[in-house]
Amino acid sequence: MSSQRSFVLVAVLTLSLTLTAYAQQSADQRRAQIDANAKQRLEQLFAAQPDSKELYNKSAGYAVFVATKAGFIVSGGSGTGVAVNKASGQRTYMRMGTGGIGLGIGAQRYDLIALFENEAHLNKFVTGGWDSSATAEAAAGKEGTAVRSSFIDGVAFYQLTEKGLMSHADVTGTRFWLIDDLK
């Protein structure tokens, strides 16, 4: 069996086992795990990019997703997370899915953090009216998008990997939706 096929098989088996274990947890356990992950990822962001704390303090809310992306020419990924309205404390548990085409092979675990300038941008994100490609296009025009201290089109994105803060958060082709059983 070729190494490419072996990689794909291992990735599919790992994802299947992860999803099976995830499905066996109670809704309360899943929410608690997602909340703990979000808190930890925010702390990592503030440590890696101190200016992000000031932007977080100005924001109306945030979303934190833990995701995995894999591929060989065609890539795909998924993750889970929470969007939080800082004023009301309302938490909305969500999934994300992403896909694309590009060179390379492999898998990557990363964290995607979004800060929303106002409640209108947060609500648009949570209700599914948000267009990831428009925000990604706006961000692509700026140098050092993730290492900045301002909102672009009402949203600031940060992407963390095991190696630290990435200079670009690619959200093109990414879709977010509610997790119905965690409402």
Question: 3: exposed, middle or buried (C-beta count within 10 Å: 0-12, 13-18, 19+)?
Answer: exposed
pLDDT band at 160 (very low <50, low <70, confident <90, very high): confident
- Cα-atom radius of gyration of the chain, to the nearest Å? 16
Domain limits of the chain? 27-182
Report pLDDT for 10: 53
> What is the average pLDDT value for the chain, to the nearest integer?
76
Report pLDDT for 137: 44
Q: 26-80: per-residue pLDDT in tens?
A: 889 999 999 999 999 999 999 988 889 999 999 999 999 998 777 666 767 788 9
Average pLDDT value for residue range 75-89: 91
Q: Are 84 and 66 in contact (CB under 8 A)?
A: no
pLDDT at 85 over 90: yes
pLDDT at 21 over 60: no
pLDDT band at 109 (very low <50, low <70, confident <90, very high): confident
More confident call, 116 vs 74: 116
